[in-house]
Amino acid sequence: MQDQLTVRLPKELSRALRAAARQTERRSSEIVRMALKNFLGVAHTSGGRPADRVRGLVGSLRSGIPNLAEKHRAYILESLKNAR
């Protein structure tokens, strides 16, 4: 980040921001940046590495399978075998 901004918020807005951060599992600063981009009409940057573009999605879904990342190939092969 290039610049830092300090903002004073009314209690109601601060509570809403904290609730949104908890609900979306994001940092408050990330929500504020998203809101500013939306309000100002600034396009989301798509540059950088592909991993950077989906960084906010990583870990946002739960499969219920604790070792899916380590054994993903075995799970795919098993599901293909069961589909026949």
What's the pTM value of the predicted model, to 2 decimals?
A: 0.51
Q: Domain containing 2: what range? A: 1-44
Domain contains 22: yes
For position 69, what pLDDT does the model report?
Answer: 81
Q: CA separation (Å) from 80 to 65, 66, 69, 70?
A: 17, 20, 18, 18
CB-based burial label for 77 (10 Å; 0-12, 13-18, 19+): exposed
pLDDT tens digits along 35-81:
999 899 887 665 677 777 777 777 777 778 888 888 888 888 988 88
In CATH, what number is assigned to the domain containing residue 12? Answer: 1.10.1220
Domain contains 58: no
For position 33, what pLDDT does the model report?
Answer: 92
Structural domains counted in the chain: 1
For position 19, what pLDDT does the model report?
Answer: 95
Domain contains 25: yes
The mean pLDDT value for 17-23 works out to: 94
